[in-house]
Amino acid sequence: MTTDVHKILVIHGPNLNMLGKREPDIYGTESLAEIDAWLRQRADAVNIELETFQTNHEGGIVEKIQEAMGRIDGLIINPAAYTHTSVAIRDAILLLDIPVIEVHLSNIYKRESFRHHSMIAGAVSAQISGLGAYGYIAALDALHSRLL
């Protein structure tokens, strides 16, 4: 087993800063701060250096992905509403040569038809949808096992 510290970036897209307040029946009652705290606790337990980032702006997500090139070992991204519209985020992800996992709190395939299509899915290693906040932990564990 390697003792290298792997660096993982978590990007949270628009409106995720409102978790716990926004449609808790769909997105859960956990706040983004709680989710990030759970991720940090899990990352510390498995020797991962974790960075989290949230923005409501598409360009901010693109810039964060570009800045991550050559600096991180894995990416977890919940592009939120940009999942269904952003070629720019998809193109930025394609710049990376690392595993990338797309996460959604709700099952996007059980919701409105416009949410059934992900512009991001074809550019990522895997997609986790419908597990609520646990989806982030599952993504972190999957990246960790892939990076060992």
Give the integer Cα–Cα distance in Å for 27 and 91.
Answer: 27
Closest CA to 119 of 100, 136, 102, 138: 102
* Catalytic site residue from 27, 82, 136, 144: 27
- Choosing from 6, 12, 82, 104, which is the catalytic residue? 104
Distance of CA 8 to the CA centre of its chain: 10
* 27 included as an active-site residue: yes
Beta strands in 100-140 (DSSP E): 100-104, 126-129
Is residue 104 flagged as an active site residue?
Answer: yes
Q: Taking a C-beta distance cutoff of 8 angstroms, is the pair 33, 74 a contact?
A: no
Ramachandran angles phi, psi of 46, nearest 5°: -115, 20
Coil, helix or strand at residue 133: coil
Report the catalytic residues.
27, 104
